[in-house]
Every structure is written in structure tokens, then in C-alpha cells.
Structure 1
Amino acid sequence: MKTQRILVVGAGHVGLYAALRLSKKLGSREAEVVVVDPQPHMTYQPFLPEAAAGNISPRHSVVPLRRELRKCHIVAGTVTRVEHARKTATVQPIIGPAREIPYDHIVVAPGAVSRTLPIPGLREHGIGFKTIGEAIYLRNHVLDRLDVAAATADPETRRSALTFVFVGGGYAGIEALAEMEDMARDALKYYPELKAEDMRWVLVEATQRVLPEVDRDMGAYTVEVLLKRGMDIRLDTRLESCVDGLVKLSDGDAFRADTIVWTAGVKPSPMLDNTDLPRDERRRVTCLPTLQVVDGDTVVEGAWSAGDCAAVPDLTGPPGAFCSPSAQHAVRQASRLADNIRAVIRGREPVEYKHKHAGSVASLGLHKGVAQVYGIKLKGLPAWFMHRTYHMSRIPSLNRKVRVVVDWTLAFFLRREVVALGQLHDPREEFLEATPRLDADSRA
């Protein structure tokens, strides 16, 4: 029997879990698993708010691919084209010429990117919250703004520095807003020049509710908690412009802000535009419940997809429903997908993916949370504890579980780190200033 090559595009929740399971369940003579991703790690995105707030070390919220996928072949690069008609993918390595990788099966799992809108000034002044780099940047930026506010004598500069705007009231936006406000409030202990009332935290949400994944009463409770903490919650409101840091909202309000965080949804990776795979009106790869790619009524042999970039029918929902783009579905889809590829390679029929959404948990800062799991609703400390317990159990590898638990344990006894390391974002600036320029005559 010929050894099958399985190409995994992307090493997010779907890619990492699928590759790990395939490498464990298939022998080396049955299949070779090749994983292509430009990053050397998988980011466990539910931990980004805690990493940004300093509750855990940022490096503990990522899983190194080469350590976890030791039986797989890792290619550090970007898939720039997929020609499934030829069963060939074009890969651009980090350095060097592009190369083609032939395959027998392909797992298309590049994930999603921020779904932005053509809002004036957003490209220049906004930042997303989907990567570990963005989380680290946001942490350093918020702490840096506190330094700016404490040092300046200009009221307008201080007001702008201490205004933080988060656009999007889903889980990413709510958790990022709550955790960063919690961190900044802790940091103010070291800034006698500033008071908590000087800070302004604004949430802008285009719909009339937050946390759409839970019942309305839980969303209302979340808004109530945030309002009690002095936050400015703008529902049924849109960001219309932020040119030069001047935020203009659809309700007519306008103010300056140095920090604008965009968390208003995601869309499938634009990498899919360079494939010949079928997609739906939302640009997702069309799939069967077996996670096989389907073109109309025809199965695309050897092509598989799952996660944020895939339209996977939800067999537990009403007709026409699709699985939500959540880590809960992605991890389970990855396991089913890997088992189905193994079944096909061994001449058996694939099995349909079916999972009823268990619910959702969210952190609202240290010791605060909201949860709705299997119909059970929790608030405050119990919900926060459930949030931590659930995600600690889900992050891949024992190594990362232990490190995260150690971080949390130390946080009970030691104060949170609230120092900005802004030079991380431009480490050569000081060296460039210290190094004299060479004009054309001196070089000659």
C-alpha cells in the first residue's frame, strides 16, 4: 500500500489537533503528515485576554509545533495556492523560493482573520485581538498610555491617553475589555498622579445586546457588571470614523482616544481565495457533516475542512444551521476529521460530526465571570472558576497545563506585573540612533 501524504494547511485548533491525532493513529507506512504554518506555534486564543492582562505568561498561551507534533513534518511558510485538481499546494517558505507540495489528502484549516469594515482611520489607528503579538502589544500600549497620562500636564493629552475603545461585544471584546480594565486599575496603585475615575473604557456594539452566545439575561447581567465598574457601554451603536484618533460614533458622540481595539467578528482566511475549492456565499469552504469538502452534491475526494473557515452543517440544530466558529467545535471537529481520514485510508466509511453546543464561559476580570453550560447559569466567582478550569483542561499538552496552573498559583501570592515593555515592538530604535549614518563619500 502506498504511503499517503496528508497536507495540513494551518496549525490552529483544527490543524494542530488533527495533525496530532493523525500522527498517533496512523503508522509511518500508512501516512506522512505535513503541517504548513508561518508561525512556529499554535495560539490558544481563549487565553489571549489573560496573557494581555498579565495573569499568565504570554508564551504559556502558545503551543510549540515542533515539540507537540514530533511525528509530523513541519514546514514554516505560507500556502499561497491550492490546486486540488492536481492535488498540489504551492508553499512560500519564510525565506527562499516557493515550492510545490503534492498530497493525497488535504486538511484546509487556515482559520479566520478579523472582519473589518471600511471605516476611516481604522487601518491607521485600530488593532485586532486575535494573535499573541496583538495581545502583547495591547498590554504594553495600555500601560504606556498610563505613563503618558501621568507625565503630561496637558488635560487633552491625558484624556485621550486614558480613553480606551473596544469595538465588538462578543466574547473576545467583552473579555479583552474586562481584563484590560482590571489590569489598568491594578496598575494605578503605582501612579499617584492618576485616579480610576480618570480612565474611560468604552464598548461599542452594533446590536442591542452583548455575548449573543448566551441567553439575554446573562448578557444583561454582563452589561450590569461592567456598568458598575464605571464602563461606558454603547449598544446599538457603530463606529463611523477614527481619523487621527478622533472617534465618531453613530449616536453623534465624538471624542479622542489613543486606543481603539477591533473585536467585531471574524471572516474566513483570504488564503482560500487562491484555491479551487467550493465555497458558500460567506466565502467558507462547503462541507458535509463528515467534514469532507462538497461541491453541490459531489464529494471532493481527498479534501477536508473544519473550523472557522468551513461551513459544517450542525446536525443538532434546525435544518440549514451551521456549526458556530468556536474553539469548542473546532477541537471536536479536528478529532472527527482525523478519524475520518484514517477510516478512508483504511477503506472504511467516514462518520458524521455531531455535537450539541455545551454552552459558553467568559471571564470578566480577576475573580469575575459569567457562564452558561448545559443550561446551568453561573455568575461571579463560580463562573470565573469554571472558565479557568475548562480552558486549562482544553489547552494542548501537559507542559502548557502545568505552566498555566503555576502562573495562576503564583498570582495568588504575588502582585500582578504591570510594567510595559514597549521596546519589544521596535528593538532597533535605540541602536539606530546611536549608530552614525554613512554618507555616499565616506562609503566610497
Structure 2
Amino acid sequence: MNTVTRPRILVVGAGFAGVECVRRLERKLSPDEADVTLVTPFAYQLYLPLLPQVASGVLTPQSIAVSLRRSKKYRTRIIPGGAIGVDLKSKVCVIRTITDEIVDEPYDYIVLAPGSITRTFDIPGLTEHAFGMKTLAEAAYIRDHVISQLDLADASQDPQERASRLQFVVVGGGYAGTETAACLQRLTHAAVKRYPRLDPGLIKWHLIDIAPKLMPELGEKLGRSAQEILQRRGIEISLGTSIAKAGPEEVTFTDGRVIPTRTLIWTAGVVASPLIATLGAETVKGRLAVAAEMNLPGCDGVFALGDSAAVPDLAKGDGAMCPPTAQHALRQGRHVADNVIASLRGQSMTPYVHKDLGLVVDLGGTDAVSKPLGIELRGLPAQAVARGYHWSALRTNVAKTRVMTNWLLNAVAGDDFVRTGFQARKPARLKDFEYTDAYLTPEQVRAHVAGAGRQE
């Protein structure tokens, strides 16, 4: 009896790029055309741009975790785990499941959208003492941690301990760092009113970045506007400065200053997922070098997109690469799905072209700066554009309802500043969340796949 095996499409990563790709494949492929599998540790798409609002308590964690199982056409098999290596020659992806079991998943087409990890440097104490802002658990933990510093400072009789618990340092003057500092400063500013024993003047937020300007992508005027808004709130901004070393109770800046603090939040950029290095293929600044069609030259059925791929930005030209933003990832996800389908059906693939639509930065409350379609906005109009953009980009009506309800409730009733305690007494620093030591080397991948093949 002859059995016809359907082509196997494997999508790695459930970020903006991976989820958009899977959804389009489900819509455009008939069930008997191909089998679609998604590798992700969690069965949800995290809406990353709103993480600072989770950390500050404006939004609940569930509201930005968009379920992957709500689609009416849902038929994708989800493997709960993370890809730790890919053997391009054997067409096998090595996966570590959430129970630490190693499984090999063969494929005919693979779409690599593993996203990025926090970029760190060889700074003494950084990974042991800094918090990141890349996962839902980190955002929820940081909220608990910041409120706990207020609780502990309020209870302390030691002026030095109190001062160190009420100073907060955020490293990174990009969107993530700026929005994190802005949103959390509003949290502590509002919360301190519930602590009559605490002097509000002791609460100090520091935002530092090695670059000479805050969010240079916004342009000179808007970047300066954002800086003025934060300084008006009392956030101390230090540019051209970074961290020399970090400890459990103090941070040393590169300009020699020593800041007593129990809270160091590191948001100084991202790098491509270590999965890309396991391929042994050409990279551009760590991102996989792909063609404009987002396929890997010389490797049949291999596609990459999002933060981990160096996709040529044809709209800009001059050899530019698409920046790792949500608007590019969303569109690349849909486009790469079309190219996978074209390849599957023996049709021609098309290059990815998208002109940047602009940028939005939500600084909390009525403060924001936005640049939609090149138009510079500040204050309430910018806030309306920023929240309108984020709201419309949420994939399901349930998620949109939750986020809108949270915004309205927070605006009307404020916050109760309650700690959940779910992560209490558990390690929760940079090194504990991103599992960067889980990946294999290209040689280990090939040896593992060859060994598994012999056992069969």
C-alpha cells in the first residue's frame, strides 16, 4: 500500500513573525497540502511592546499573552519547547521540550523566527544582579520587586538601606529602556502616597545609555522632547555612560559614580537568538544572512525572518537591513508564508518590501511622543496614536477587550500596588530567564543527529 506523506513545515518561534506566518499558512493551505508544526515554550504570542505597562501594573500579564489556540482554523501542532540546534543537511531541528527532553523534528520547510535575546557585555556582576525586560515573567517579577523595595524601605530603620532600596537604575536609552523607566517611575510616584513614612524625595530613578542621544531613531526634536518629559518627572538621565560593575547593593557607572541600589534593569539592546549560530551559515552582525525573499541561499526550504534574520530593506536601499521592530516582523511573517506556499507549489517567490510607517513611544499617563508617517506628535495626540497602534495590532478581539478594559480601569481607579508573590524567593535575574546556555554548537548538532540516525 502506498502512503503519500504531506510536506512538513516547521516554524520556530511564536513571536510576531512566527505567529503571523503560521496563521497565514493555516488560512491559505488546505489541510491535505502540508502539516504545520510550531516550536514554542508557551502557547501564546507575547505582545512585547506593552511589557513596560505590565511591569508598572497598568496591564495584567494575561492581557498581552495572546492565546495561539483561539483561531477558528487552528490545526497547527505545537511542540512545547525551544529549538536548540538545526542540521541543515539532514533537515532536522533539535528541540529541548519544557521537561528537558531532547527530541528531533524532521522538516521539509523550516521557518526560523526564534527572535532575539538580551544583549549583555562582559561586565562584572551584570548577569547575576540585573533584571531583564524580555519576558512576561520578568515584567511581572520586576513589578513585585519594585513594590517590595517600597515595603522594605518603609519598614527599615537604617537610612542607608532605605536610600539604596529607593534608588532604581535602568540601562538602555532605546524604546524598551525609556518606556520601562517612564512607566515604573509613575508606579513609584503614585505608590509612595500610600507610604506616609517614606520621603518621596528619596525615590530616584536613573536612566543611562552609552549613546549620546536618547532614542536617536525618533529624530533630534522628538528625542529631546522625550528627554525633557522624563527629566521633568525627576528621572536623572546620563548619556555617554554605562555600567562598570554591578553588585547586590550598588552599581558603579563608567564615569566613576557609585549608586547604592537594589534594582538594576538592563535593556541595552538585543542580539539574535543563539539558535542562528548552530546553523554554521553566514551571518550579518549575528543575524542570519538571507535573500530579499527571506530564504537562505544554497539551502532548499530554509527561511528566516524577524529579529534573527538580516533581511534586506529594499525600501531604504543602500544595503540597509530591516530593523528588529514589530511592524516589520508582522509583515515579514505574512510574506514568508506566501513564499513558503509558492515554493511548495512550484511558483515564484517575491521579495519583501515595506516602508517604515513610523514609531510610537508611550511614556505613561498623557505623556508620549510619536512619529506616524513622519509626522511628529507629542502629548495627548501622540498618546492616542501610540495606544491606538498597539490596540489595533493585538491579534484577537479578546486581547483587545482585555487591554482596553485595563487602560480604562487604571485611568479611573488607579492601582492597588499589590505584590503577587508568585516568584518570591526564586532566582529571577538575567541569567535565569533566557537559558542561553541551552544551545548546541554546529558540531554538537551534527553529532547528535547522526547518532540518532544510527540508533534508528
Q: Place the TM-score, normalised by the shorter chain, in its bin.
A: over 0.9
> CA–CA distance in 2 between the matches of 1:140 and 1:231?
21
Query: In structure 2, what is the Cα distance between the partners aligned to 1:80 and 1:128?
Result: 21
Contact map agreement 2:115 2:273 (CA 8 A) in 1: yes
Q: Note the alpha carbon deviations across 1:36-74, whole angstroms, 9 max, x for none.
A: 112232211011011111111111111122334721001
Match status 1:272 vs 2:271: no
- Secondary structure class of the residue paired with 2:299: strand
Taking the aligned partners of 1:186 and 1:244, their CA distance within structure 2 comes to: 26
Residues of 2 paired with 1:346 and 1:389: CA distance? 38
Amino acid at match of 2:352: Y
Paired residues of 2:305 and 2:311 also in contact (CA < 8 A): yes
Q: Is residue 66–residue 74 contact of structure 1 (8 Å, CA) maintained in 2?
A: no
User: Which of 199, 206, 213 is residue 202 of structure 1 equivalent to?
Assistant: 206
Residue 152 in 1 paired to residue 156 in 2?
yes
- After superposition, residues 130-279 of structure 1 pair within 5 angstroms as 130-276=134-280, 278-279=281-282
Contact preservation (8 Å) 2:229, 2:367: no
**What secondary structure does 1:127 align onto?**
coil
1:110-125 alignment, distance < 5 Å: 110-125=114-129
Q: C-alpha distance in 1, partners of 2:422/2:397?
A: 32
Of 91-100 and 169-178, the range deviating more from structure 2: 91-100
Aligned-partner Cα distance in 1 for 2:278–2:314: 30
1:243 positional shift: 2.5
Structure 2 stretches lacking a partner, 5+ long: 427-456
Q: Secondary structure at the match of 2:296?
A: strand
**Corresponding residue of 2:285:** 282
Q: CA deviation at 1:2?
A: 5.2
Number of aligned residue pairs: 423
Partner of 2:352: 353
> Helix, strand or coil: the match of 2:70?
helix
The 3-state SS of whatever aligns with 2:259 is: strand
Which secondary structure state, in structure 1, belongs to the residue aligned with residue 217 of structure 2?
Answer: coil
1:100 to 85, 88, 104: 104
Matches within 5 A, 1:59-98: 59-68=62-71, 70-95=74-99, 97-98=101-102
Matched AA of 1:235: L
Which 4+ residue blocks in structure 1 deviate beyond 6 angstroms?
A: none
Q: Does 1:314 pair with 2:333?
A: no
SS at match of 2:14: coil
The equivalent residue for 1:336 is 335
Q: SS of the residue aligned with 2:74?
A: coil
TM-score normalized by the length of structure 1: 0.92
Unaligned runs of 5+ in 1: 428-444
2:293 maps to a residue whose letter is: T
Percent identity over paired residues: 38
Query: Displacement, 1:232?
Result: 0.7
Contact 2:284/2:310, CA 8 A, preserved across alignment: no
1:96 Cα deviation after fit: 6.4
Secondary structure of the structure 1 residue equivalent to 2:234: coil
Secondary structure of the equivalent of 1:384?
helix
Contact 1:141 1:422 in 2 (8 A): no
Counterparts of 2:318 and 2:300 in 1: how far apart (Å)? Answer: 25
> Normalized against structure 2, the TM-score is what?
0.90
2:133 is the alignment partner of 1:129: yes
Aligned position for 2:435: none
Which residue pairs with 1:430 in the alignment?
A: none
State the Cα deviation string for residues 188-208 of structure 1 (Å, max 9, x = none): 121111233210100111011
Instruction: Note the C-alpha offset of 1:413.
Output: 2.4
Q: Distance in 1 between matches of 2:261 and 2:198?
A: 17
- Aligned residue for 1:66, secondary structure, equals coil
Provide the residue aligned with 1:366 in structure 2.
365
- Out of 2, 6, 29, which is 1:3 matched to? 6
Post-superposition shift, 1:354? 0.5
Distance of 2:6 and 2:307 partners within structure 1: 30
Given that 1:125 and 1:245 are in contact with CA atoms closer than 8 Å, whether structure 2 keeps it comes out as no
| Distance (whole Å) between structure 1 residues aligned to residue 92 and residue 251 of structure 2 | 46
Describe the SS at the equivalent of 1:42. strand
Match of 1:438 in 2: none
User: Which aligned pairs between 1:289-300 and structure 2 lie closer than 5 A?
Assistant: 289-294=292-297, 299-300=298-299
Q: Which residue of 2 aligns with 1:407?
A: 406
Change (3 A) 1:97 1:154: closer
Residue 53, structure 1, aligned to residue 56, structure 2: yes
Q: 1:128 to 1:96 in 2, by over 3 A?
A: closer
CA distance in 2 between partners of 1:90 and 1:237 (Å): 40
Instruction: Measure how far apart 1:147 and its partner are.
Output: 0.6
CA distance in 2, matches of 1:245, 1:410: 36
Question: Aligned equivalents of 2:263 and 2:191: distance in 1?
Answer: 17
Alignment match, 2:304: 305
